[in-house]
Amino acid sequence: MEKVKSKVVVCLPGPCPLDYFDVFSSRVSKIIGYENNKEILLIQNSQFNHIDRDVTFNLGDILDSPVRKTWFYDFDFCRTILSVDKSKFEKFRDCNFSSTFCTRYVGINNTILILLRIMKEKPVSITRYSDGTIDVISDKNSYHCVSYKENTKSASMIHILKNFKN
């Protein structure tokens, strides 16, 4: 997350936000967190006085957050792309974001192709590397993908970072 150039990050920090916030560079001055679970939100709020940045936690769906082209969104869904509300997700197509999806039952290729369809993009090239990373060039953007095994769930995951073409 050192490459995040935005000063505002919208994210799903989970129950240990201090660890999560440490991965962001000092350029990030405002963090807006979302959480669907009230108990986890209470844990997050209890850690406010230990955070040296402007931080706001919200109860609700991150896909209901405001859309700002200058903000960076970290959609750590950890579920299949098929379970994501596509009508809400597509509104972020002009924003920089990273997203994590479970590829079980869908597969890596289909996850990438579905993401491009949601973003209203067409694939131009898909390059696979021996280390498991994948670079995807669409007609509008580029994506860097890392596939990995999630030990706690024994699931195959893919982390996708969107970068705008200059």
User: Does 54 fall in a domain?
Assistant: no
Can you tell me the distance from the alpha carbon of 154 to that of 111, in angstroms, rounded to the nearest whole number?
18
pLDDT surpassing 60 at residue 140: yes
- For 9-58, the pLDDT digits (tens) are 999 887 777 777 777 767 788 889 999 889 888 887 777 666 677 888 89
Domain assignment present for 31: no
Please tell me the predicted confidence (pLDDT) of residue 112: 96
- pLDDT band, residue 157 (cuts 50/70/90): confident
For 76-100, what is the mean pLDDT?
92
Q: Is residue 125 part of a domain?
A: yes
Considering its fold, how many domains does the chain have in total?
1
In a domain, 9, yes or no: no
Domain-embedded: residue 50 = no
Q: What SS3 class is residue 27?
A: coil
Q: Is the pLDDT of residue 117 over 50?
A: yes
- Which structural domain, as residue segments, surrounds residue 156? 83-94+101-166
pLDDT computed for residue 8 by the predictor: 92
Is 2 contained in some domain? Answer: no
Q: Is residue 77 part of a domain?
A: no
CA distance 68 to 44: 24
First-to-last alpha carbon distance for the chain, in angstroms, is: 20
pTM: 0.87
Residue 161 counted as domain residue: yes
